[in-house]
Structure 1
Amino acid sequence: MRVEIWSDIVCPWCYVGKARFEKGLAAFSGRDDVEVVHRSFELASGAPRDGRKTVAVELQAKYGWDDATLKAMEDRVGAAAAAEGLGMRHDRFVTGTFDHHRLLHLARERGLQDRLLDALFTANFAEARPISEDDTIVDIATGAGLDADEVRKVLADETAYADAVRADEREAAELGAGGVPFFVIDRRFAVSGGQPAEVFTQALEQAAAAGGLQTVATAGGDGAVCADDSCDVP
């Protein structure tokens, strides 16, 4: 069985959803036969990798949110992260993620994709590191096991793995993913949003026994999504 997960490095519900999915997978009896592949999805496609603004400044400027609305979103996602044992800082930076996704494709070829994604999530959300900077990216990637020279070579070549990122994003659109995280099991079952762990277990069990692409769960309730650089707010 193959599970494909579309997500973005700066999506807080992708960060939380990955942890919830892994708990759901651990409770699935066929977990040892499951291959997990992470796919690319940019919430702000084409955004520059500059990291000059914090999330708070960017969201308030883009959507006109007042302090109360911003705090409601951050408190909600912060509580969800804490419930999964994850850190969440609110002074993290905004950055384009195209280069990070290109490196995740390199990491997949090296068998290190999951480790790199975890490292990027931790650096961004738990540590608020400036993941827009080359030196920081190289440090994160080498900490996940990648070779520093390979990482720098990919960062310097804008075409490296660019087609792979765009192909992932086209597939997401074809499958109806309007936001992330978006989980597809054997191209038969789709789960949208950072759902509770038991929803993922149920989806895996149903996919093991049935065919045909079906939506098991969609965003809402506990399963929030990020779309167009914004996230569900209660």
Structure 2
Amino acid sequence: MARKEYAASEARAEGLGFRIGGRVHGNTFEPHRLLQFAKARNLQAELMNLAFQVNFTEERSIYDEETLASMAVEVGLYEAAVRELLNDGDAYAEDVRADERQAAELGAGGVPFFMRDRQYGVAGLQSVELFTQALEPAWQNRPAARH
């Protein structure tokens, strides 16, 4: 079974609506700039979840301005601010590039790639056991909770 089919099969086994047949592929730089914008407004997780749903479940493109703006508004961002961001190619670009550099330093060569505490990374579709093994050092080395 090819890698993509395996990923889709594993996702479906976990109850996730994941499709690979008609999905549109493209450059993710603009969606990542929008995610950085959403992060500054504490809406990154919501936007990321919606982007995954649109891309992997609904198999719609997340690479055009209209879809990006629509998703942003759906999670609570102001459309005018989003369109201003999308028209300014420099806005949040350095934040995205910094993430790309960090991912490269951690060995990310593709997606998916999961990072914890900007230090611990797990590449690709992996078993629960491997994720647990990879996240144990992050848990053990976390800073003490402050009260």
Alignment of 1:32-71 (within 5 A): none
RMSD value, Cα: 2.2
SS of equivalent to 1:190: strand
TM-score by length of 1: 0.54
Larger strand proportion, structure 1 or 2?
1
Larger helix proportion, structure 1 or 2?
2
Aligned to 2:108: 177
Aligned to 1:226: none
TM-score by length of 2: 0.81
Letter in 2 for 1:125: F
Alignment of 1:177-216 (within 5 A): 177-210=108-141
Aligned to 2:16: 86
* Stretches of 4+ aligned residues off by more than 6 angstroms: none
Letter in 2 for 1:115: E
Deviates more, 1:196-205 or 1:162-171: 196-205
Higher relative contact order (CA 8 A, sep 6+): 1
* Equivalent-residue separation in structure 1 for 2:106 and 2:15 (angstroms): 31
Alignment of 1:1-234 (within 5 A): 72-89=2-19, 90-210=21-141
* Equivalent-residue separation in structure 1 for 2:56 and 2:28 (angstroms): 14
Letter in 2 for 1:86: L
**Matched residue pairs, number?**
141
Letter in 1 for 2:10: A
Cα 1:206–1:75 change in 2 (3 A) is same
Cα deviation for residue 177 of structure 1 reads: 2.2
* Equivalent-residue separation in structure 2 for 1:101 and 1:183 (angstroms): 15
* Equivalent-residue separation in structure 1 for 2:22 and 2:76 (angstroms): 27
Cα deviation for residue 74 of structure 1 reads: 4.1
SS of equivalent to 2:114: strand
The answer as to whether partners of 2:7 and 2:125 remain within 8 angstroms in 1 is no
SS of equivalent to 2:17: coil
The answer as to whether partners of 1:119 and 1:141 remain within 8 angstroms in 2 is no
Cα deviation for residue 107 of structure 1 reads: 0.7
Cα deviation for residue 149 of structure 1 reads: 1.2
Structure 2 runs not aligned, ≥5 long: 143-147
